[in-house]
Structure 1
Amino acid sequence: MPIVAIAGGTSIGIGRSIIQAILQTYPNGEWNPIILSRSQKQPAWFSTLERKPEIKAVDYKDASTLLSALKGVHTLISVILAIDGTHASSQVALLDAAVQSDCKRFVPSEWACGPKGVLKVDLLAAAKTPVWEACEKSGIEWSRFNVGSFMNYLGIGCGENEDEACAGVDREGDMPDGSGSFLISFVSDTAELLVKDDGTVPRVTMTEIGDVGRFVATALELERWERDMDVAGDTVRLDEVVDIAERVTGKKFDVRRLGRKELEKQVETLVSEQDMLKRMWVQLKLMMLDDEVGSAVLKPVVNELCPGIQAISVEKYLTKYWAKKGL
Structure 2
Amino acid sequence: MVKIAVAAPGQVAREIIEGLVATGKHEITTLARRDLLPEEIVKGTTPVKVDFHKHEELVKALQGVHTVLSFVAPHNDPEATAQKTLIDAAIQAGVKRFAPSEWTVSRFTHIQWNASKLLIRDYLEEKNKNGKVIEYCLFQPGLFTDYHVNENINKHLQTNDFLPINFANRRLLAPGSLEPRFTATTIRDVVNIVVKAVEYEGEWPKIGGIAGETLSLAQELAIGEKIRGKKFDVEFVDVENLRKGEYNGSWVKPLEHPSLRDLDEETRAAFSKMAFRGFLLALADGDMVVSDEWNRIFPDYKFTGVEEFVSKFWAGKP
What is the TM-score of this pair, normalised by structure 1? 0.81
Within 2, Cα distance between the matches of 1:282 and 1:155? 21
The answer on 1:17 being equivalent to 2:15 is yes
1:256-302 deviations in Å (ceiling 9; x for gaps): 12342232233599xxx9856533432232222123xxx32222211
* Alignment-derived partner of residue 243 in structure 1: 222
Is 1:191–1:254's contact at 8 Å kept on the other side of the alignment?
A: yes
Distance 1:311 1:7, change over 3 A: same
* Alignment-derived partner of residue 242 in structure 2: 263
Listed as ranges, the matches of 1:76-91 within 5 Å are: 76-81=68-73, 83-86=75-78, 88-91=80-83
Q: What stretches of structure 1 move > 4 A for 4+ residues in a row? A: 273-277
Is 1:231–1:299's contact at 8 Å kept on the other side of the alignment?
A: yes
The answer on 1:57 being equivalent to 2:35 is no
1:283-326 deviations in Å (ceiling 9; x for gaps): 232222123xxx32222211221234322110011111111112
The answer on 1:128 being equivalent to 2:152 is no
Within 1, Cα distance between the matches of 2:104 and 2:276? 13
Pick the aligned partner of 2:182 from 189, 196, 204. 204
* Alignment-derived partner of residue 259 in structure 2: none
Distance 1:226 1:86, change over 3 A: same
Is 1:267–1:283's contact at 8 Å kept on the other side of the alignment?
A: no
Pick the aligned partner of 1:154 from 137, 143, 148. 148
The answer on 1:191 being equivalent to 2:186 is no
Deviation at 1:39, TM superposition (A): 2.8
Is 2:135–2:203's contact at 8 Å kept on the other side of the alignment?
A: no
Q: Which runs of 5+ in 1 are unaligned?
A: 157-161, 172-179
Listed as ranges, the matches of 1:276-315 within 5 Å are: 278-291=273-286, 295-315=287-307
* Alignment-derived partner of residue 3 in structure 1: 3
- How many pairs are equivalent? 293
Q: Residue 146 of structure 1 aligns to which amino acid in structure 2?
A: Q
* Alignment-derived partner of residue 231 in structure 2: 252
Is 1:153–1:166's contact at 8 Å kept on the other side of the alignment?
A: no
Pick the aligned partner of 1:138 from 108, 127, 130. 127
Is 1:246–1:253's contact at 8 Å kept on the other side of the alignment?
A: yes
Distance 1:309 1:16, change over 3 A: farther
Q: Residue 284 of structure 1 aligns to which amino acid in structure 2?
A: F
SS in structure 1 at match of 2:191: helix
Is 2:52–2:86's contact at 8 Å kept on the other side of the alignment?
A: yes
Is 2:142–2:290's contact at 8 Å kept on the other side of the alignment?
A: yes
Within 2, Cα distance between the matches of 1:193 and 1:165? 28
SS in structure 2 at match of 1:216: helix
Is 1:184–1:192's contact at 8 Å kept on the other side of the alignment?
A: yes
The answer on 1:107 being equivalent to 2:99 is yes
Over the residues paired in the alignment, what is the CA RMSD in angstroms?
2.5
Deviation at 1:4, TM superposition (A): 1.3
Deviation at 1:122, TM superposition (A): 2.4
Quote the sequence identity (%): 28
Within 1, Cα distance between the matches of 2:220 and 2:247? 29
* Alignment-derived partner of residue 177 in structure 1: none
Is 1:152–1:167's contact at 8 Å kept on the other side of the alignment?
A: no
Deviates more, 1:274-283 or 1:308-317: 274-283
Distance 1:235 1:302, change over 3 A: same
Deviation at 1:186, TM superposition (A): 2.8
Within 1, Cα distance between the matches of 2:45 and 2:295? 27
Distance 1:232 1:43, change over 3 A: farther
Is 1:167–1:210's contact at 8 Å kept on the other side of the alignment?
A: no
SS in structure 1 at match of 2:199: coil
Deviation at 1:58, TM superposition (A): 0.9
SS in structure 2 at match of 1:145: strand
Within 2, Cα distance between the matches of 1:267 and 1:78? 35
* Alignment-derived partner of residue 131 in structure 2: none
Distance 1:314 1:214, change over 3 A: same
The answer on 1:35 being equivalent to 2:30 is yes
Distance 1:186 1:145, change over 3 A: same
Q: Which runs of 5+ in 2 are unaligned?
A: 129-133, 249-266
Is 2:15–2:157's contact at 8 Å kept on the other side of the alignment?
A: no
Within 2, Cα distance between the matches of 1:215 and 1:34? 20
